[in-house]
Each structure stands twice: as C-alpha cells, then as structure tokens.
C-alpha cells in the first residue's frame, strides 16, 4: 500500500509562520508536521509515500532529502504551477501508477490524531472497500451514511445544504459523521478518480459525484464506507491560535508510543 500526504496548501490560517515556510514544515513539539505524518505511516508499515508541494516547495524537498525521508521512500508530486486541491492533487500524483493500481492511504499534513493506522489497513484488507475515517465530532459539515455505513451524501447543518439534492427529503434517515481528512481508496475508486474531467477538485466533490451518478454501490458492494476509530482523538493544526494546544496534543501522542 502507498500513501499520500497533502502538503501543497498555502497555510493561510497559519500566518505569519507560513510567510516564510510551508505549512508542512511548521514545527510542533520539536518536529515538522510532515515528519509527524511520515513517522505515523512508517510505524504502520507504509514506507512508499507521495508528498505534493506548491508553497515553498524547495524547502519541503530539501528537508525530505536532508532527513533521508525519515526512513521512507518519498516521491514528490510537484504542483508549483497550479494548486490542484485534494482530489486533483491525488489524481496528478497517481498518474505514474495507473498501470499498476494499488490502494492509497491519503491524509492531510495538518491533522494529528491518535488513530491506529494498522486497524484501518486491516479493515480495508478485510473488505476491499474504500474506507473514510470519520467520527461523531461536532461540526457544521457532515458526511451522510446509510445503515450499512455506505456513503450516500453530505450536508451543511448551518446552511441546510444537502448533496445530492435528492436526499433533502430523507436526510434525517442518515447517520451524520465528521470527516477526518484520512482515507484509504481502493484501486476501483482510484480508477474512477482518474476519470474525473476536472484538473482541480476536492476529494469530497469526487465522493459526492459518485453518490450523484451511481446507486451508492458497485456489484451490490458499497463504494465508500465509514471507518470510525475507537476512542478517537484528532486535532486540526491549521490555525495559528491553536499551536500551543496542538503542541500539548502532539506531546501526549509521543508519550503513548
């Protein structure tokens, strides 16, 4: 299994730190955010990792080289010409692997969590179905799942928006869970991703396009399933006013290793 860490974002919410460095290299408890993610993947047995770059790309490339990829084989997907969002970024990064499809674990560089990645991998290997890591965390935007934990749509409870629109009348029947920014996508899902006509799009938009154009299943199997980790704790490090809190969270993660 390969992994992709999304590192191309501008990190505007982390200014002024990101005025001189990419978000992926913002230090947290003595390590850059990228190192936290690489080591977590490495500890779960994933050592073939793709990192996309856009903002201060050379800093990321040099840091990876200087640290020998922290024991992993790290490939750079260069987006310095155009920022492609998560879906477009993954589509571009997968181009060299389309002849030999393999599942991909994709995650955001700025989200720390206590997830045991090996349990996520085990569930994917048991089912062969793409897994979206979700939780009951309170937020405004939720993914919606049916009684089989199959993804069926999305809603913003603050605005009342529902996608696909035909779920509006039945939205109360679905389980609403918050997305964590981590997922494992099967070769079948990646083949559908590669067919997306846009260059720039989010993974959420891709997932919802599947909900809009298919009956949520292929050969009676769910396309995308919910994976809810036990005792899950996560933290989005994307805001400058949360750095101190994130430092404490990262230190607690280190103590539990």
pLDDT tens, residue by residue, 198-213: 999 999 999 999 887 6
Neighbours of 182 (CB within 10 A): 23
> What is the CATH number for 249?
3.90.550.10
In the predicted model, is pLDDT for residue 216 greater than 60? no
In the predicted model, is pLDDT for residue 170 greater than 70? yes
- At 98 the pLDDT is 59
* Rounded to 5°, angle at Cα 207 from 206 and 209: 65
pLDDT tens, residue by residue, 123-156: 999 999 999 999 999 999 999 999 889 999 999 9
Q: The pTM is what?
A: 0.93
- At 218 the pLDDT is 46
Neighbours of 173 (CB within 10 A): 11
Name the pLDDT band for 240 (thresholds 50, 70, 90): confident
- At 256 the pLDDT is 66
Contact 186, 103 (CB under 8 A): yes
Backbone φ and ψ of 35, nearest 5°: -65, -40
* Rounded to 5°, angle at Cα 175 from 170 and 180: 130
Count of helix runs (H) and strand runs (E) in the chain? 7, 16
How far, in Å, CA of 70 to CA of 138, rounded?
34
How far, in Å, CA of 185 to CA of 243, rounded?
30
* Cβ-Cβ contacts under 8 Å for 48 (sequence gap 6 or more): 1, 2, 3, 72, 73, 75
Q: What is the C-alpha R_g of the chain?
A: 18
- Cα–Cα nearest to 206, from 218, 217, 219, 195: 195
Name the pLDDT band for 95 (thresholds 50, 70, 90): confident
Domain that includes residue 220, residue range = 2-255
C-alpha distance from residue 52 to each of 10, 86, 123, 170 (Å): 12, 10, 26, 38
- At 214 the pLDDT is 55
In the predicted model, is pLDDT for residue 59 greater than 70? yes
- At 222 the pLDDT is 67
Backbone φ and ψ of 183, nearest 5°: -160, 155
In the predicted model, is pLDDT for residue 219 greater than 70? no
In the predicted model, is pLDDT for residue 184 greater than 50? yes
How far, in Å, CA of 21 to CA of 210, rounded?
36
pLDDT, average across residues 17-38: 94
In the predicted model, is pLDDT for residue 41 greater than 60? yes
Task: Give 18's DSSP letter.
Answer: G
Domain count, the chain: 1
Name the pLDDT band for 167 (thresholds 50, 70, 90): confident
Neighbours of 163 (CB within 10 A): 19
How far, in Å, CA of 222 to CA of 213, rounded?
14
pLDDT, average across residues 167-183: 92
The mean pLDDT of the chain is: 91
pLDDT tens, residue by residue, 71-83: 999 999 999 999 9
């Amino acid at each position: 299994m390969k992994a992709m860490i999304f590192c191309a974002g501008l990190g505007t919410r982390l200014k002024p730190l990101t005025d001189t460095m990419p978000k992926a290299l913002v230090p947290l408890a003595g390590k850059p955010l990228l190192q936290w993610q690489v080591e977590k993947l490495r500890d779960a047995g994933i050592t073939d990792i793709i990192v996309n770059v856009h903002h201060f790309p050379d800093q990321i490339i040099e840091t990876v080289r200087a640290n020998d990829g922290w024991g992993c084989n790290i490939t750079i997907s260069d987006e310095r010409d155009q920022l492609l969002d998560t879906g477009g970024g993954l589509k571009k990064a997968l181009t060299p692997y389309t002849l030999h499809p393999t599942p991909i674990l994709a995650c955001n560089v700025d989200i720390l969590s206590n997830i045991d990645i090996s349990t996520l991998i085990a569930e994917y290997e048991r089912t062969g179905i793409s897994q979206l890591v979700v939780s009951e965390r309170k937020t405004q935007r939720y993914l919606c799942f049916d009684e089989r934990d199959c993804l069926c749509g999305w809603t913003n409870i603050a605005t009342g928006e529902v996608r696909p629109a035909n779920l509006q009348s039945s939205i109360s029947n679905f389980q609403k869970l918050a997305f964590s920014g981590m997922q494992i996508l099967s070769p079948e899902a990646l083949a559908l991703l590669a067919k997306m006509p846009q260059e720039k799009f989010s993974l959420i938009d891709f997932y919802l396009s599947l909900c809009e154009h298919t009956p949520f299943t292929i050969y009676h199997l769910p396309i995308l399933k919910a994976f809810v980790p036990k005792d899950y704790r996560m933290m989005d490090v994307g805001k400058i006013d949360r750095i101190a809190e994130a430092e404490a969270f990262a230190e607690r993660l280190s103590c539990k290793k």
